[in-house]
Amino acid sequence: MHATTVGAYGSWLDRMLPRGPARLSLRRRDAPGLAAWRRRARARVERLIAPPDSGPAPRPRVRRAYEWDGLHVEHLRWANPGGPATEAILLKPAGARVRLPAVLALHCHGGNKMLGWRKVARGREPVSPFVRRHVEQYYGSAFWANDLARHGYVVLAHDVFAFASRRVRTRDVLPRVRGDAPVADPRTAEELWRYNQWAGGHEHVMAKALFAAGTTWPGVVLAEDRRALDILCARPDVDPRRVGCGGLSGGGLRTVYLAGLDSRVRCAVCVGYMTTWRDMVLNQCWTNTWMVNAARLPRELDFPEILGLRAPLPTLVLNTRKDQLYTLPEMKRADRILGAVYRKARAAERYRCSFYAGFHKFDGVMQQEAFAWYDRWLTP
């Protein structure tokens, strides 16, 4: 075998993965009917990722509201069972008087835990150089949540576990774990860089703690994204029958779990996070986050099939051919797997996968395809 992320152990770990469709795959000849399969497989995935009990849906507090750049903007905050409060932004066309379709805009990881919703949306405040660099690198300089809201949607973007308002404050961490990370909230470019470097290394510590407590990183993130979905669907200005979600990279990963496990998401767009477990084991686990991992899950379903749990609901996957996080052959294999799932569900026209030139991104051209997909399935 060629060189792997884990050296000579690669072939051994590779043999642990199913050779054909995994035990709960809809692609198996002995798979039950679509509804029974979905019910059984979703229950198993939920058990394996072990989302913590989040309690009743939170009641968000509107911290500020105003009209700006053609939009009605609300800055929201809500409490969580643990850790600091979640901050979020809600955007919709100014002057809208009817219930609108809505999208939960899921921010990326990007190795940048100082930022959350500000990666994909903005209010009227000036954009800092720190934020602008991130948006230029990954989003073609566009705040896509704002553009989608102007397109006729209610869009909610929130900070998720361990990012921005939900980040781990180093002042709360044991000194031996904190090391030389800045204790005060980072302000300068150098302090922001040092915090993000520290937070990247701290993922291993947090993942161990989550496992020891009986949960997982994808379980915690799913629970928080569901709380945001609760808030969005409960709004009087939202048509809960026309709600979608989507995001790049870590936002694509969040789309896989949320859209795969929650049928309130009627339309999903997964950008820059679609490959196979084999790719992660042999080639790319070093580029990926603990937000994806749960023990035994790869023996039950291949990674694309988690998103496939939503079939026959509409799903769009957007990839780039030189994405640094995955290998192109495994991205294409993931596309074939999802295509087979949707054909088995007799909904081939409700799945699409597109490949773009370039590296890891969600730029303007890709955003146009995503917006058109939302329009196709969420507008009357």
Tell me: the pLDDT tens digits for 115-173?
999 999 999 999 999 999 999 999 999 999 999 999 999 999 999 999 999 999 999 99
Task: Give the separation between CA 309 and CA 117, rounded to whole angstroms.
Answer: 27
pLDDT at 210: 96
- d(Cα 240, Cα 341) in Å, to the nearest integer? 26
What ranges in 286-327 are assigned the alpha helix state H?
Answer: 297-300, 303-308
Averaging pLDDT over each range in 13-27, 176-190, 227-241, which range is the top one?
A: 227-241
Complete edge-to-edge strand list for the sheet that includes strand 351-356: 61-68, 71-78, 86-93, 154-158, 100-105, 238-248, 267-271, 315-320, 351-356
End-to-end CA distance of the chain: 52
Domain locations in the chain as residue ranges:
61-378
pLDDT in tens, 71-116: 999 999 999 999 999 999 999 999 999 999 999 999 999 999 999 9
Residue 371 phi, psi dihedral angles, 5° rounding: -65, -40
CATH of 61-378, one of 3.40.1010.20, 3.40.50.300, 3.40.50.1820, 3.40.250.10: 3.40.50.1820
CB-side neighbour CA atoms (13 Å) of 345: 27
Q: What SS3 class is residue 296?
A: coil
Q: How confident is the model at residue 1 (pLDDT cuts 50, 70, 90)?
A: low
Cβ-in-10-Å burial (0-12, 13-18, 19+) of 115 comes to: buried
Provide the CA 3 distance to its chain's centre, in angstroms.
30
